[in-house]
Every structure is written in C-alpha cells, then in structure tokens.
Structure 1
Amino acid sequence: MPLHPAAPEDLAGLVSAYQATTQAIVDLGRSCSDADFAKETACPGWTVKDQISHVVGLESWLHTGEVPRVDVPAYGHIRNEAGQFIEKSVELRRRMVGQKIVDELETVAARRIAEFSAPGVTLETVVRGPWGPAPVGETLQRRILDIWTHEQDLRHALGRPGNLDSGGAAVFMDVLFAALPRLVAREAGIEPGNVVIIDSTGPVMGRAGVWVEPGDEGKARGIPLFSGIAHDGDPDDVFTTITLSTDCLTRRAAGRGGIEDIHFTVVGDESVAHRVLEHLVLVP
C-alpha cells in the first residue's frame, strides 16, 4: 500500500521538505523560554538547546566542511568516535543563549537551501554527506530523516506535537519501509516461514510487509510484499500484522524509548511482533 501522503522524490519536493522541518525547529525555538531550552529530551545527555545545537552544527559542517575546534569532556552518553565528533558542535554552543542558536540555524538552513537550489544542481549532483560525498537526492533524504527526527524529539520534550503528516514524516516512513526486509530478516532474526506486515494508521498511512525465506549460507532473507515481486508462498506461512500510528512507529524506528512506551496491536504471533519492534531501529 503506497504511503499517503507520498514521500517527495524530486529535487524541489525534497528541498521543500528540508525547508519545512528546519523551519519547524526554528519556530519551536522562537517559542522557547530559558526553562524550555533546558528541558531534557529523548537523546541521552541532550537538552532542547543541545538538540538544536546539533542540527545547526551538522548542517554547518556539511555546508562548509569546517570542524569545530573544541575539547569534548568524557560524557557518559558518548559511545564512540562518531558520537565524539557529533558532540563537538553541541559542546561549542553549550554556553550560548538559546535564541542565538536558533538565529544561527535560520541562517545556516537558508544557506543550505540556496546550495541545493542553485542553478545546475540535480538529484545526482555530488555534495558533502554525513558519511562522505553523496548525491544531493540521497543526502537530502538522509538529512530530512535526521532533522525531522530531532524536530519530533523537541516536540515530545516541549509537549507540542505536530508535523506528523509532513514531507519529513513521509520521507522517514519511506526510508523505514525500504529497510524493512533487512530489519525483519537480519536484525530481528525472524525465521523463514513468517510474513510480517507493518500497518501505519496515520497521519502518514501505509502498509509494508516482508516474507522471510531461506537465504544463502543458512541466513534468512526478507522479500518485500506489495512490491510487485512474485513469490509462491506457503500455506503454512505464519502472518503477523503490527498496527500502530505514525508517531509510535517513527519513535520506535528512531530508537526513542522501548516497545513498552508505544501503543500497538498485533494479529498473529506476539513473539514475532515483539522481536520485530525491538529491532526496528533505523536511526543510529
């Protein structure tokens, strides 16, 4: 079942989704008091202000290539070198006033939008990406997914829900559904003979499924359902359908909280559903 609303695929649509989610963070930041900026979020060790600092810092680095020159203490929430690198932009801004960071995000986002919208830029134009040079289309998709995730972190921390039917939400869901065969068969280790269906009730509505079959070297392989790929199936296949909202699905896929923190219903094998949801983490 196709996503509704559909995720943008053209350059103009992706740039619009990027602009919408960065602007949403700016608007949230403009409404924050000092107490709001200090509120803890679902990301360990990060406040509302820290989350905005992270978005500013990463977008600034992707635009200029300049790495902040700052020493990062041995915080408990930093687990690896990537986390140490990411923390630099947050540490650089820890003593800054929250509204100044919001101002910076507005400026950096405008520069990024101009970069993506420049004459001659196409989806295939190679730019700096978080993991190295990558096409604009891929980079925008990944940045929208990450920034929209942090927008939702801010909304949850501030108690201001919204934008669950936005282009950013649709991009997140599109990336998640594309990754579902791997997440079900490899990450969750669901055995062959199972069919798992994820049903999102909205605001972004859609359905994706995976048929698990035996693969090479004894490893299970996930085959996407509803994709036009034919398979014979088996009358003994066990079907498990997990139904949940866009908010619950994306929070779980973002690794925010455990399955006990979301509402979902299951028709089929409860143990399979729980294993899938435990391993349905898309965002590192």
Structure 2
Amino acid sequence: MPLHPAAPEDLAGLVSAYQQTTQAVVDLGRSCSDADFDLPTACPGWTVKDQISHVVGLESWLHTGDVPHVEVPDYAHIRNEAGQFIEKSVELRRRMVGQKVVDELETVAARRVAALSEPEVTLETVVRGPWGPAPVGESLRRRILDIWTHEQDIRQALGRPGDLDSGGAAVFMDLLFAALPRIVAKEAGIEPGNVVIIDSTGPVMGRAGVWVEPGEEGKARGIPLFSGIAHDGDPHDVFTTITLSTDCLTRRAAGRGGLDDIHYSVHGDEAVARRVLEHLVIVP
C-alpha cells in the first residue's frame, strides 16, 4: 500500500520538505523561553537548545565544510568518533543565547535552500553528505530524516506535537519501509517462513510487508511485499501484522525510548513482532 501522503521524489519536492522541517525547528525555537531551551530531550545529554545547535552545526558544515575548533569534554552520551564530531557544533554553542542559535539556523537554512535550488543542481549532483560525498537526492533524504527526527524530539520536549503528516514525515516513512526487508531478515533475524507486515494508521498511512525466504549459505533473505516483485510463498507461512500510528512508528524507528514507551497491536506471532520492533531503528 503506497504511503499517503506520498514522500516527495523530485528535487523541488525534497527541497520543499527540507525547507519546511528546518523552518518548523526555527518556529519552535522562536516560541521558546529560556526555560524551554533548557528542557531535556529524548537524546541523552541534549537539551532543546542542543538539538537546535546540532541541526545548525551539521547544516553549516554541509554548506561550508568548516569544522568547529572546540574541545569536547568526555561526555557519557558520546559513544564513538562520529558522536565526538557531532558534539563539536553543540559544544560550540552551549554558552550562546538560545535565540541566537535560532537566528543562525534561519540564516544557514536559507543559504542551504538557495544552494540546493541553483539551476544547475539535479538529483544526481554530488555534494558533501553526512557520511561522505553523495548525490543531492540521497543526501537530502537523509538530512530531512535527521532534521525531522530532531524536530519531533523538540516537539516532544515542549509538549507541542505536530507535522506528523508533513513531507518530512513521509520521507522518514519511505526510508523506513525501504529498509524493512533488511531489518526483518538480517537485523531481527526472523526465520524463513515468516511474513511480517507493518501497518501505519496515520497521519502518514501505509503498509509494508516482508516475506522471509531461505537465502544462500543458510542466510535468510527479506523479499518486499506490495512492491510488484513476485515471490513463491507457502500456504503455511506465518503472518504477523504490527499496527501502530505514525508517531509511535517513527519514534521507535528513531530509537527514542523502548517498546514499553509506544502503543502497538499485533495480529500473529507476538515474539516475532517484538524482535522486529526491537531492531526497527534507522536513525544513527
């Protein structure tokens, strides 16, 4: 079942989704008091202001390539070298007034949108990406996923839900559904003979399924359902359907909280459903 609303696929649609979710972060920041900026979020060690600082810092680096020169303390929430790099932009802004950080994001985002909207830029144009050079289309999707995730972190901390039917939400869901065959068969290790279906009830509605078949050397392989790809099923296949909202699905896929923090229902094998949900994380 296709996503509704559908995720943008053309450059103009992706730029619009990027602009919308960065502007949403700006608008949320504009509404914050000093106390709001200091509220903790679902990201360990990060406040609302730190979340905005992260978005500013990464977008600024993607635009200019300039790495902040700042010493980062040995924080408990930093787990690897990538985390150390990301923390630089947050540490740089820890003593800044929250509204100044918001001002910076507004400026950086406008520059990014202008650069991405240049006439010579196409979906295939290679640009700086979070994990190395990448085509604009791929890089934008990943940035939309990340920024929209942090937008939702901020909304959750502030108690201001929203944008669950936006272009950013649809991009997140599209990337999640594309990763589902790998997650089910490889990450969760669901055995051949199982069919796993995830049903999102909305605001972004859609259904994705995976049939697990035996692969080479005894390794299971996930075959996407509802995609037009034919497969040889078995009448004895075990079907498990997991039903949950866009909010619960994306929070779980962002790695925010555990299974007890979301509401979902299962028709089929509860143990299979739990294993899939435990591994259903696509945000680094």
If the length of structure 1 is used for normalisation, what is the TM-score? 1.00
Q: What amino acid sits opposite 1:104 in the alignment?
A: E
1:153-168 equivalence runs, <5 A: 153-168=153-168
Tell me the equivalent position of 2:43.
43
Structure 2 residue 253 is the aligned partner of structure 1 residue 257 = no
1:72-221 equivalence runs, <5 A: 72-221=72-221
Equivalents in 1 of 2:236, 2:184: separation in Å? 19
Equivalents in 2 of 1:190, 1:117: separation in Å? 43
Q: CA deviation at 1:183?
A: 0.4
Q: Deviations over 1:47-75 (max 9, x none)?
A: 00000000000000000000000000000
Q: CA deviation at 1:216?
A: 1.3
Helix, strand or coil at the partner of 2:207:
strand
Q: What amino acid sits opposite 1:51 in the alignment?
A: Q
Runs of 4+ in 1 over 6 A off after TM superposition: none
Tell me the equivalent position of 1:19.
19
Equivalents in 1 of 2:34, 2:221: separation in Å? 50
Instruction: Report which stretch shifted further, 62-71 or 225-234.
Output: 225-234
Helix, strand or coil at the partner of 1:132:
coil
Q: Deviations over 1:104-154 (max 9, x none)?
A: 000000000001001211101111001111111111000000000000000
Helix, strand or coil at the partner of 1:86:
helix
Q: CA deviation at 1:257?
A: 0.2
Equivalents in 1 of 2:45, 2:206: separation in Å? 34
Q: CA deviation at 1:267?
A: 0.2
Tell me the equivalent position of 2:236.
236
Equivalents in 1 of 2:76, 2:220: separation in Å? 36
Equivalents in 2 of 1:119, 1:273: separation in Å? 46
Q: Percent identity?
A: 88
CA-atom RMSD, angstroms? Answer: 0.4
Q: What amino acid sits opposite 1:165 in the alignment?
A: D
Equivalents in 2 of 1:276, 1:8: separation in Å? 27
Equivalents in 2 of 1:252, 1:131: separation in Å? 23
Q: What amino acid sits opposite 2:243 in the alignment?
A: T
Q: Deviations over 1:70-111 (max 9, x none)?
A: 000000000000000000000000000000000000000000
Equivalents in 2 of 1:196, 1:61: separation in Å? 39
Tell me the equivalent position of 2:71.
71
Helix, strand or coil at the partner of 1:210:
strand
Helix, strand or coil at the partner of 2:223:
strand
Equivalents in 2 of 1:112, 1:103: separation in Å? 14
5+ long unaligned stretches in structure 1: none
If the length of structure 2 is used for normalisation, what is the TM-score? 1.00
Aligned length: 284
Equivalents in 2 of 1:217, 1:108: separation in Å? 49
Equivalents in 2 of 1:242, 1:119: separation in Å? 44
Helix, strand or coil at the partner of 1:67:
coil
Q: Deviations over 1:186-219 (max 9, x none)?
A: 0000000000000000000000000000111111
Equivalents in 2 of 1:99, 1:154: separation in Å? 15
Structure 2 residue 225 is the aligned partner of structure 1 residue 225 = yes
